[in-house]
Structure formats: structure tokens, C-alpha cells
Chain A
Amino acid sequence: MAAAAFERRVLRRAAEHHYLRVRLELPDGGARPNAAQFKQLVVTALRELHGEVGAALPVDVLTYEEKTLSAILRVISSGLVKLWSALTLLGFYQNRRCAFRVLQVKPCGAGWLPPDVSSGSKLGRLPKPTAFS
């Protein structure tokens, strides 16, 4: 029991990275971007709004589903506002209208839930949750 010393640490704003669950909305028909094109689109959005400095922001595409056009992005915490604003203001993909929906923003990786359980309140409506059963 000697090793059982109690220790408690409270970390405020300690998360190095933030995670965003985003969905790209495109008009029906036409080519869907693959993972690399998707990342390129994110970087383009950053370059448009925040210039070369913004485009240099390290953004990771952790998961990307081409079928649903949804992805989980990881970004360093100090760049969260930049990334979010850039995604919001992006309007075109290959001369077609498009829009990014930011569904959830989390400061920690383990905070994720599959979209059918959690309900993303303010940030955007997730696809209608099916009951747990």
C-alpha cells in the first residue's frame, strides 16, 4: 500500500490539440474528393482566409470517409479558431458550391462519441440518431 499515494492534477486548457468532426456538403453528382483532395481543400480554405501563415498550420486528417464526406480533423489548439473560421467561410470546391459543417469540437481525443449516440447541439444537426437498440 505504500505505493498508493494519492495524487491529483487539474489541467486547464492543457490540451495540445483540438479535434473537429466535420462534414463536407456538396451538391449531388460530380466527383467526390478523395482523402488527399480533401486535405488539399482544407489547406486551400486556410490559405484563402489566413494566407501562407494559415496554410502552414499543421492540420491532420485522422479519418475520412469518402462515402459520407465526413472527417475528423486534428489541429493544434492555438490554431482552432483559424481552422474553424476558414472552414466556415469556404464556399467552392472545383467551381461547385460547397459547405463545411462543423459538427463537434473536442479538446481531447478520447472525448469522441459515434454520431448516433451523442447529439451535436449547437454546432449543427447530425444525421437523425437512431435509437440505441
Chain B
Amino acid sequence: MLPAQLGRAPRHLLVCERSHARHPRSRHAAHVRDHAYSCRVSFLIPECGVLPEVVKSTIADIGDYYLVRSLPVHELVTHEFIDAFVKKGSCYALSYKTKIDQDNTAALLPNGKLILSVDKGTYEELGLQGRPSRYSGKKVMRYIITIDLTDAGFQPESKKHNRVLWALKEKKPLEFDFLLAWYNTGAEGSTLMSYFSKNQIQALKPKITFSTLRDLQCPVLQSNDLQGKPEESCSTEELFEWLGAVLNQVSLDNKSSSFLSTYCCPEPNTVVEKAFLCTITGFIIPEKIIQLLEQLCSYFSEPKLAYWLTLTVHGFADSPVSWRESEHGFHKGGENLYNFVIFRNLDYWLQMAVGAHDDCPP
């Protein structure tokens, strides 16, 4: 290691956007929808002691998700499954407890794309067409296979379908624990529970925790100023750092005598008497996050003391995709998250962060 490289930190990206939630061309809902796999949603409302009933009911309505043990991947490409779930709503599936940089990983996106991130050996055994991963230097050790299940050429008994089925069933049978969720507007049709009843399936509820933070120092933000001005408002980066500290319950008191830490709340700030923090952990689908976002926007329809609130969504660090189908990897941190700051006038900031070699978020 040369001294010049000693000071270099790994690459990462933070994209900040500013717009208005009610603007006809605002893309906030699209951004949420494109980010398929989320494992933790937390929101922070300053100057709020009890949660309004509407938001409470939205949280309660987040819905179950399912964990299926050792499900063969070929079950996801059968036509019974595609017709029953993929074409009739948004079906989300993600392999569970697989590490993106060492294991094979599978993910089914709501648009019907099945994405397999496999190592070189598996790729060669499978014999399906793919492309080299961005996370494998000169010597390609990892490949990404994308199969479009809703493609016109992917009919039953078609050549393509048979080949995929044969590869996944006989050539190299792949098996994962899957996290599954399904969202459809109509209530008819069979459910995932009954469809996979012969497999080990388990319905799980998201874990919800509430807490009230007392005497919290909050940075002052100006909705029309992303970069912030000294003495007037804080920038997005500063807010992002602060939010990390709050979510991790780091003490923000900045004593000059402290030997341990020099961390303090960015300037300027105000002390908020109480703030409400809610965290939902589970396999949360974007449709529910959009609902929650709408409820939080309508929180400001009545006059409130709070000037802004935040909604942070963490993606799975080991998911093979971040936004849409753009590849995601772990590298050093695997961050894959976005954060909304919604202001009283319904202006919003959206911060999207991905790490290492990921594509820029849309």
C-alpha cells in the first residue's frame, strides 16, 4: 500500500433530490416503487407525542410476509405460479440469508424479472445466458442472469421456457429460503400460503417498535436549500449524518471534556421537547411504503409544530438489485437506502445512497 492510497476511502454515492410532493411530475412515488426490497422503515416526527390514528392504522396494515424454507427456484418459473401470482399483481421474492458476495442469490421483481446472481461455477453448470457482474474485477467470478417471466417468448412448452426449467430442475437444482410477499388489488385468487402449503411456509408479521425521544437536538432545515448556509440552515449531508446518529441512539451532547467522542449535532439546531420514532422491520413492499408516505404527507394538513419529518427506508444489504434492475453489491458496506424529508409545505428532499460499484440511483 502506498501512502497516496492510505488516504483514499471507498467510492460511494449519495443522490439528493428536491421537489414538491403534489407536483404532477414529481417522481417520489416512482422512486419508492422501483426500490423493491426493503427491510427496515423508520420515521421520525419532531414535536409529536402520540401518533395520529390514520398513520397508526397504516402501520397496522403493513401486512404479512412469508418465509418459505428450501424452495427450489424452478417452482418460481412454472406457469402455475406465474399465472397465479406474477401476472395478477406484484410478486416479490428474495432469497433469505444469502450473502451477495459469496453465495448464489435469487430475486423476483414485481415486473416479472427473475434475477439470479451466481458464482462462476454455478453459472457454467446452469448454462443460461447472463452477463458478468460489476463486482468482479478482471477475472469474472460472478454472473447475473435475468429471466423475464412475463416475456411473450416464455410461453409454456416454448423452447426458452423448457430450457430454463431444465437448467433449474435437472442441470443445477438451486434451492433457497425465500422471503415472499404478494400485493394485488383484487382480492380473488389463491394465496401464497395455500399455494406453497406443501413447502415449509411461515407467515411473519413485521416487527414494529415505537419510542419517544426527549429533548432532541434537531438541525434547522430550509426546504429550498439543499446545500445549506452557515448560520441559517443545515445541508443534506449533515442531516443524513445526524439521522444516522439518532437512529442508532448515539448521544448527541457535545461536552468539551468528552474523551470518547467529538460528535455533535450540526449547527444551527433547535432543541425539540419530544420526537416520535417508529421503526418497522420486516420484508416491506413498496406499495405499503407509498401508503405510509401519503399518510405522513397528510400529517401536515392540520397545522403542526413540526417543520419537517423524515422517513428512512433501508434496503437489504445483500439484495442483488437496488433500484429497478441496477445491480447492487456488498463490497464494504452494501448500503442501499433512501430517506425522505417532508416539509410542512409538502416540499420534500429525497436522499438515495448506494455504495461501491452500484449504478447511480435513477
Contact = CB atoms under 8 A, between A and B. Distances in A.
Say if the two chains contact directly (CB < 8 Å).
yes
Interface of A: 1, 3-19, 35-36, 39, 58, 60-64, 72, 74, 77-82, 85, 104-114, 117-123, 129, 131-133
Contacts of A72: 248, 250
B73 to A, nearest CB: 20
B325 to A, nearest CB: 20
Given A108-B14, A109-B243, 7 more contacts: A7-B226, A11-B14, A63-B249, A107-B10, A118-B318, A121-B101, A129-B97
A3 B223 CA distance: 9
Interface in B177-203: none
Interface string B331-344: 11111010100000
Interface string B42-69: 0000000000000000000000000100
Which among A13, A19, A62, A77 has the highest number of chain B CB atoms within 10 Å? A62
Closest 5 CB pairs of A and B: A109-B244, A4-B20, A60-B261, A111-B335, A110-B244
Nearest to A63: B250
A17 B281 contact: no
Nearest to A71: B260
Mostly, the A contact residues are mixed
B203 to A, nearest CB: 9
A110 B311 CA distance: 11
Interface in B80-109: 97, 99-102
Which among A3, A111, A120 has the highest number of chain B CB atoms within 10 Å? A111
Contacts of A74: 261, 263
A91 to B, nearest CB: 19
A79 B8 CA distance: 8
Interface in B1-46: 1, 5-20, 22-23, 25-26, 39-40
A40 to B, nearest CB: 9
A4 B23 contact: yes
B345 interface: yes
Nearest to A128: B97
Given A62-B261, A113-B40, A119-B97, A108 B318 contact: no
A62 B237 contact: no
A40 B352 CA distance: 36
A9 B163 CA distance: 45
B13 A39 contact: no
Contacts of B97: 119, 129
Nearest to B258: A60
A15 B11 CA distance: 10
B171 to A, nearest CB: 27
B330 interface: yes
B312 A122 contact: no
Interface string B250-273: 100000000111110000000000
Interface stretch (B204-212, B213-221, B300-308): B204-212
Nearest to B98: A119
A89 B209 CA distance: 39
B204 A105 contact: no
B286 interface: no
Nearest to B343: A3
B40 A111 contact: no
A17 B241 contact: yes
A6 B261 contact: no
Which among B13, B22, B312, B317 has the highest number of chain A CB atoms within 10 Å? B317
Given A72-B248, A118-B317, A81 B8 contact: yes
A119 B247 CA distance: 18
B99 A121 contact: yes
Given A7-B18, A108-B12, A63 B6 contact: no
B314 interface: yes
B261 A61 contact: yes
Nearest to B338: A110
Contacts of A8: 15-18
Nearest to B279: A114
Contacts of A106: 333, 335
B194 to A, nearest CB: 20
Given A10-B13, A113-B317, A132-B283, A3 B347 contact: yes
Nearest to B15: A10
A1 to B, nearest CB: 6
A109 B245 contact: yes
Contact of B335 (A77, A82, A108, A132): A108
B263 A81 contact: no
